[in-house]
Amino acid sequence: MITVKTFKTAVTLTTALAIGGCGVLKSGTSDPSAGSPAGGPDARDASQETTPIWEMFKQKNTETNVLVNKYIWSAAIEVLDFLPIQTIDPFTGVIATGYGTPPNGGRAYRATVLINDPALDARSLTVALQTRGGAVSAATTRAVEDAILSRARQLRIADNKF
């Protein structure tokens, strides 16, 4: 039968070893490669340090970098202003609209726009158009993309004049 004193000693020893294993290894306090040949599999670089377990709970950098071109973003909203916006997310670069009829047009469209690069470039823009009857021709989609990119270039030129 294990006595209470033996149990307390075992718990204390286990706790001390667990806490000691979480400490930071500082250079100069001990030789991490002692007992193993230089360059052996157990040898450590003296500059390598371990980190305590509580470092994992520290607050990390929460800054978010938006990787969306602001000119294409603004131009897409302006060119497609006849469509009601359903969802918009500047962090992922997605604009989803509902059905709407363009000025002097008879057919209702809806669009999903993806801006996936901060460059003012055609590769940064993807537009998907749909009518109530189905998909739209590639020429119509290309015309909308060209209109958005043209307006984005105009916005950039106007922004750089001042």
pLDDT at residue 106 in the model: 86
Beta bridge partners of 115: 125
As a whole number of angstroms, the distance between CA 79 and CA 105 comes to 15
pLDDT tens by residue, the chain, 162 residues: 557 677 677 777 677 656 666 554 444 444 444 444 555 555 555 555 676 766 666 666 666 666 788 999 999 999 999 999 999 998 889 999 999 999 888 899 999 999 998 888 899 999 999 999 998 999 999 999 999 999 999 999 998 875
pLDDT at residue 136 in the model: 93
Domains of the chain: 4-57 (no CATH), 70-160 (3.30.530)
Is 69:152 a contact under the CB 8 Å cutoff?
yes
Helical (H) or strand (E) element with 94: strand 94-97
Q: 134: phi > 0 → left, psi -120 to 50 → alpha, else beta; which?
A: left
pLDDT at residue 155 in the model: 94
pLDDT at residue 152 in the model: 95
The number of C-alpha atoms within 13 Å of 151 and in the hemisphere containing its C-beta is: 18
Q: What is the pTM of this model?
A: 0.60
pLDDT at residue 19 in the model: 66
